[in-house]
Amino acid sequence: MEAPTARRRGALPAVEPLSAQVSFRPLTREDFARLRDWLNEPHVAKWWGVGTGPDGLGGAGDDAATLPAVEAAYGPALDGTDPTANYVIVVDGAPIGLIQSYAAAIRERDGAGIDLLIGEPSMVGRGLGPTVIDRFVTDVVFAGSDVSRCVTGPDPENTRSVRAFERAGFRWVRDAVVPDEGREHVMVRERAA
């Protein structure tokens, strides 16, 4: 089946190279204050915040993420007790967001799940997302491993995210309902042969 969005919009051109230098480095505890601030940005909290489900973190007022809450959510991955791999997205030397990969089952076969947030408000809506996603999948997820499929599941109403993943080579495979979290627009990218 074809993605409804792809059907509506037609074929997409390949991701265009940016002049910006995009790289990734492992998240450390020194990043936690910055990560807390990103999680509390309204454009991030809408899709990552407490209103999105039991694992949601960040928002306004009483919902705002705190340093202890960030430690509780991300500390175990740094200590190796949670297998999620968290990276800081670095553009032209500046940290701008978080991207993560984790083990995921895709149609009963193994793959890597990914999720991201561009936390700096001045850096969203400028076309960075597709390049960041494409670079991460190529350079980190598929590099030097036997992972051959990558999956993500943005909220179908997060059209900016769905579009960014489409531009990075992901294709819709199904819509799903995740208990307590709501609907997911499940998208997959296969490793090139």
Element (H, E) at 150: strand 149-152
129 binds ligand COA (CB under 6 A): yes
- Residue 30 Cβ vs ligand COA, minimum distance, rounded to whole Å: 21
User: Any idea how long the chain is?
Assistant: 193
Element (H, E) at 26: strand 22-26
Token reading at 96: 């701008």
Residue nearer to ligand COA on the CB measure, 32 or 151: 151
Q: Which of residues 74-103 bind ligand COA (CB under 6 A)?
A: none
> According to CB under 6 A, which one of 7, 29, 107, 160 is a site residue for ligand COA?
160
Residue nearer to ligand COA on the CB measure, 12 or 80: 12
- Residue 134 Cβ vs ligand COA, minimum distance, rounded to whole Å: 11
Nearest to 159 by CA among 37, 18, 4: 4
Q: Which of residues 108-127 bind ligand COA (CB under 6 A)?
A: 115-118, 124-127
29 binds ligand COA (CB under 6 A): no
Q: By the criterion CB under 6 A, which residues form the site for ligand COA? A: 43-44, 47, 115-118, 124-130, 154, 158-161, 163-164, 167
